[in-house]
Amino acid sequence: EWGLPIWKTDAEGVRHDGAEAQKEGLPALKDGGQPVRSGKWQIMINGESYKWIVAEAAKKALGLDRIEERVFIVHLINDKNDPTRIAGAAGFSVRENKIYIYKAKAVMLAAGGCVNLFRPRSVGEGSGRAWYPVWNAGSTYAMAAEAGAEMTMMENRFVPARFKDGYGPVGAWFLLFKAKATNAYGEDYMVKNKEMLNDYPPYGQAAVPASCLRNHLMLKEMKDGHGPIYMDTVTALAKLAETLTPKEVKHLEAEAWEDFLDMC
């Protein structure tokens, strides 16, 4: 399990979170332990645990003497003899008054997406609370464009759905907690507009249509004047609670509200 506590299912089919499973002595995966299955599409987000493990492997592979952290790269440097190639990069330290210039034969640009395109509901000192890391300032797009890169598919910008007073990811509510989104008349627009999915084979016929297609059907309702859009969290939690113990319900509610909708 490479250091990450995995949710387990015991012999009675009861789910235990990772720390609880370890404490109660449930077998590890390599010893026949049964992991909790998240679903066909949506999986629980454990990035805060994964990143430490991946970073440790990278440090061992590269060597600490070849890694410089807390340097914010802001500009790619083109080769003076071949403007189509990148010869280095420039950045600054976020802790010291230093500028860094790097030489390179090749550069991998993996600076994430762009956050705070839209104002979060948090204000003042809390305005930095966002689902995406606030330091994802769009560098992936800006530096590549400034260097003259071919921005293949970069014009195809995807903006996920967000619900009022809850700017966390809603995909988990739809796919993991099985919540339904409806128009102002209580109609499930995924059922109502199902024929529209036939225009996008094979993705429209998948067991779970992709987020962009779900948003496409939602936008049709908005354009037709059938908004606002509601997410029926009450029914979803009540349905899940039918097969859970009171302790599991309490954990579910904390997971559903604090980890997703109320995180931003």
Query: How many helices and strands in the chain, by DSSP H and E?
Result: 8, 8
C-alpha to C-alpha distances, 171 to 13, 53, 103, 137, nearest whole angstrom: 26, 25, 41, 23
- For the chain, the C-alpha Rg in angstroms (whole number) is 23
Query: Higher confidence at residue 116 or residue 2?
Result: 116
What are the extents of the domains in the chain? Answer: 1-37, 171-263
* Per-residue pLDDT, 143: 94
* Per-residue pLDDT, 100: 97
Single out the residue of 220, 183, 181, 172 nearest to residue 199, CA to CA.
220
Give yes or no for residue 264 having a pLDDT over 50. Answer: no
Out of 50-54, 105-109, 162-166, 186-190, pick the least confident: 162-166
Pick the CATH number of 171-263 from 3.90.700.10, 1.50.10.10, 3.30.530.20, 1.25.40.10: 3.90.700.10
* Per-residue pLDDT, 212: 87
Integer Cα distance of 48 and 77 in angstroms? 32
* Per-residue pLDDT, 119: 66
* Per-residue pLDDT, 96: 96
Q: Quick one: what percent of the chain has pLDDT higher than 90?
A: 34
Give yes or no for residue 192 having a pLDDT over 90. Answer: yes
Mean pLDDT of the region 26-42? 75
Integer Cα distance of 251 and 233 in angstroms? 15
Query: Higher confidence at residue 23 or residue 128?
Result: 23
DSSP code per residue over 220-232: HHHHTT-PPPEEE
Integer Cα distance of 212 and 192 in angstroms? 17
Q: Is there a cis peptide before residue 5, judged by omega within 30 degrees of 0?
A: no
Mean pLDDT of the region 119-134? 66
- Write out the two tokens for 17: 């979170």
